[in-house]
Chain A
Amino acid sequence: MFVNITIPNWSDFAHFVPEAIMFGAFLLALMGDVIVRGRKPVVPFLITLLGALAALYYSFASPPVGDAGVLGSLVMIDSFAGFFRIVFSFVAVVTILFSWSSEEIMGSTREHKGEYYALIALMTGGMMVMAEARDLVMLFMSMELVALTSYVMAGYMRNSLRSTEASLKYVIFGAVSSGIMLFGMSLLFGMTGQMTFVGIRDALVANPVNDLSMLVVLIMIMAGFGYKIAMVPFHFWCPDVYEGAPTPVSAFFSVGPKAAGFALMIRFFFTVFQPIVDTIDWPLMIAILSAVTMTYGNIVAVKQTNVKRLLAYSSIAHVGYLLMGFLLLTPGGLQAILFYLLVYAVMNLGAFMFVSAINNSIKSEELSDYAGLGFRAPWASVMMFIFLVSLVGLPPAAGFIGKLYLFTEVLREGWYWLAIVGVLNSVISLFYYMQIARAMYFEKVPEDAPAVKIAPLHYVTMALLAVPTLILGLYWSEFKAIADQAIAGF
């Protein structure tokens, strides 16, 4: 009855350090919160912060070399995963630091503050695993872990109806799209009899499946990814969830799971569909999705009066820009995506953090209440201005370089109309981003305007984001090299 058993090699965990740290921080933070009770959850905060810092340090200090499996080959660590480790642990550090002074998270009526930090640590570990999955099983499980954590975090402000609504919408959309994706995956498995991405690719090359079936499978799997990255037409949850969730959580959602979704999507589609990309009209499909996503996001964002909602639509638009790099699944395009993801993580996190810091003080996210903020909170507003310039894609900020690479790739691949749509969209986005700047600098401070007090920690975290936004716009070549290396490792 003995099948030949291969005992998993436990020393593999040497390759799994940052993830293990984050999962460990999750467990320790939970226990620490129970043991040390206080008004403020110092223990979980410190544990998760130190964990994220350690993970960040480790990811920088010892980047993965070659391919290393963890307990088998379902999860493999390569330089691509190494790149995302850096992004995710950085996002986690900033979010954890920022949340400590956030009223929405730490306010006196809030409960379960300790679990909040534990969940951030867990989600960070989950996102790292998402970037490492090489198998349909791990693809689905890693996505579910991140999704389940997001549901809880979106509904974290249990006493707020908006937050509860956000959580419920997230759950329902998430369940439907995972269901569709799972169905697509089962069809793919039925066609190829393989679970690993590489196995599926080889089987598809050896025995091509008819075009219609391939397209249907592709669309079904795209539904799952599209939901994760908030791509039109799977974006409906995005504005409501970002608006309803606590702002630090929205900030985390708008970069973390989105980047993780892109990571998994790049690995899956690049591995599975790259050899057969010409047979399925892939470039046209992606071009249309990209154009529709960015146009929809930008046009709807123009009408928003709530800054958080505006940023939510703008993040949909940025997904459209990012999708441009997917056109032909060429390494150049994917490298541009990775670099833009890095830039996007920094600048978008910063913009959300500003909204949260202001909300802390004046309890409003309405554009009209931002009147004269440039004089009421000068330092924070300057940093917000940097983020906005970067989000538009103007030099000297990082967003310009990121967009430059994306557009170059699109032009190189000969999709001129898509590049034109992209440029037109950047012009639209200039309008609404500058509306925020206009409110901050060119509108009179109302007589009865409350004083704006920004917590010291918030200044620190925003500076942590504003400085890289400028640096990446001036000295980007080293970071671009890391992104290039990540794709080269495939």
Chain B
Amino acid sequence: MGDMVFYLFALMTVLSGFFVVFSKNIVHAGFSLMFTLFGVAGLFAMLGADFLAITQTMVYIGGVLVLVLFVVMMTRIPAQNLPKSSFNRKIPAGIFSVLIFAIVFKVIGGTEWNVLPVDAPEATISMIGQKLLTEFIFPFEYASIVLLLAMIGAAILIRERKIDDDEEVQS
């Protein structure tokens, strides 16, 4: 039963991942991304990482993905104006992807992983909270600086642009 659910989520993640990459329509690609992210959230839930699964759903599906779709719909890029990747770029990219897949496959299959004994799943939220405020307090506080920077950086980068007259425009 557990295996069945795992393969279901895995299949969902991988298949919709393919759609994201190969779909010609960018809106379809965006929607497929939702299923990819949802599949990953399912995998997290199966591993007993309930908090991670909820966060994945709320932040990625509820936040990031919605923003992505908004941007896609508002910018309205006509489908035919999308830069077409030429044929000779697809072949090396394909070979490269297959190669990487083979290597990662071999590494994952050929390594003895440090596997923890399976316990009955329990809620992890309180444990994460305690860890964040004790052992991992430094990265936790550090993250606040990173987020502040992200906000300021975004504010600086999105301000209105006036291209200087004396600069070449073609680059």
Measured CB to CB, the residues of A under 8 A from B are 1, 3, 5-8, 23, 30, 70-72, 74-75, 109, 111-112, 115, 118-119, 122, 129, 137-138, 141-142, 144-145, 148-149, 151-152, 155-156, 158-162, 164-165, 167, 187, 190-193, 203, 207, 209-210, 212-213, 216-217
Q: Which residue of B lies closest to A215 (CB)?
A: B107
The answer to whether A191 and B145 touch across the interface, beta carbons within 8 angstroms, is no
For window 97-147 of B, CB contacts with A under 8 Å fall at 103-104, 106-107, 110-114, 116, 126-127, 130, 133-139, 141-143, 145-146
The answer to whether A70 and B114 touch across the interface, beta carbons within 8 angstroms, is no
Instruction: State the CA gap A308–B111 with chains docked (Å).
Output: 46
B116, B133, B152, most chain A CB atoms within 10 A: B152
Contacts of A115 in B (CB 8 A): 152, 156
- With A30-B152, A72-B137, A152-B157 known as contacts, the answer to whether A190 contacts B113 (CB < 8 A) is yes
Interface segment, one of B13-21, B48-56, B76-84, B161-169 = B161-169
The answer to whether B114 and A192 touch across the interface, beta carbons within 8 angstroms, is yes
The answer to whether A151 and B153 touch across the interface, beta carbons within 8 angstroms, is yes
The answer to whether B153 and A148 touch across the interface, beta carbons within 8 angstroms, is yes
Instruction: State the CA gap A137–B135 with chains docked (Å).
Output: 12
Apart from A129-B142, A164-B161, A190-B113, 20 more pairs, CB < 8 Å: A72-B135, A74-B135, A74-B136, A109-B164, A119-B149, A138-B139, A141-B139, A141-B142, A141-B143, A145-B145, A145-B149, A148-B150, A152-B149, A152-B157, A158-B161, A160-B167, A161-B167, A167-B157, A191-B114, A210-B110
Instruction: State the CA gap A152–B154 with chains docked (Å).
Output: 8
* B89 interface residue (CB < 8 Å to A): no
Q: What are 27 sample pairs from A and B whose C-beta atoms fall under 8 A apart?
A: A8-B133, A8-B137, A71-B138, A71-B141, A72-B134, A72-B137, A72-B138, A74-B136, A75-B138, A109-B162, A109-B164, A119-B152, A138-B138, A145-B146, A148-B146, A148-B149, A152-B149, A158-B161, A160-B163, A187-B107, A193-B114, A209-B111, A210-B110, A212-B106, A212-B107, A213-B110, A213-B111
Nearest chain B CB to A261 CB, angstrom units: 18
Nearest chain B CB to A329 CB, angstrom units: 23
Is chain B's binding surface mostly helix, strand, loop or mixed? helix
Nearest chain A CB to B127 CB, angstrom units: 7
Contacts of B127 in A (CB 8 A): 3
Determine which of A23, A148, A162, A193 lies in contact with B171 in the assembled complex, contact meaning CB atoms within 8 Å: A162
Determine which of B138, B153, B157 lies in contact with A149 in the assembled complex, contact meaning CB atoms within 8 Å: B153
The answer to whether A191 and B113 touch across the interface, beta carbons within 8 angstroms, is yes
Which bracket fits the contact residues of B? 35 or more
* B90 interface residue (CB < 8 Å to A): no
The answer to whether A137 and B139 touch across the interface, beta carbons within 8 angstroms, is yes
The answer to whether A74 and B106 touch across the interface, beta carbons within 8 angstroms, is no
Instruction: State the CA gap A156–B159 with chains docked (Å).
Output: 11
Q: Which residue of B lies closest to A190 (CB)?
A: B113
Instruction: State the CA gap A118–B149 with chains docked (Å).
Output: 10
- With A115-B156, A152-B156 known as contacts, the answer to whether A161 contacts B142 (CB < 8 A) is no
Measured CB to CB, the residues of B under 8 A from A are 103-104, 106-107, 110-114, 116, 126-127, 130, 133-139, 141-143, 145-146, 149-150, 152-153, 156-157, 159, 161-164, 167-169, 171
The answer to whether A3 and B139 touch across the interface, beta carbons within 8 angstroms, is no
Contacts of B167 in A (CB 8 A): 160-162
The answer to whether A5 and B130 touch across the interface, beta carbons within 8 angstroms, is yes
Contacts of A161 in B (CB 8 A): 163, 167-169, 171
The answer to whether A72 and B136 touch across the interface, beta carbons within 8 angstroms, is yes
The answer to whether B142 and A138 touch across the interface, beta carbons within 8 angstroms, is yes
Instruction: State the CA gap A167–B158 with chains docked (Å).
Output: 12
Nearest chain A CB to B167 CB, angstrom units: 6
Contacts of B107 in A (CB 8 A): 187, 212-213, 216-217
Instruction: State the CA gap A365–B143 with chains docked (Å).
Output: 39
Nearest 3 interchain pairs by C-beta: A193-B114, A152-B153, A213-B111
Contacts of A112 in B (CB 8 A): 156, 159
The answer to whether B116 and A23 touch across the interface, beta carbons within 8 angstroms, is no
Instruction: State the CA gap A164–B142 with chains docked (Å).
Output: 28
Determine which of A74, A149, A164 lies in contact with B139 in the assembled complex, contact meaning CB atoms within 8 Å: A74
Q: Which residue of B lies closest to A189 (CB)?
A: B114
Nearest chain A CB to B84 CB, angstrom units: 20
The answer to whether B138 and A70 touch across the interface, beta carbons within 8 angstroms, is yes
Nearest chain A CB to B157 CB, angstrom units: 5
Nearest chain B CB to A166 CB, angstrom units: 10
The answer to whether A159 and B161 touch across the interface, beta carbons within 8 angstroms, is yes
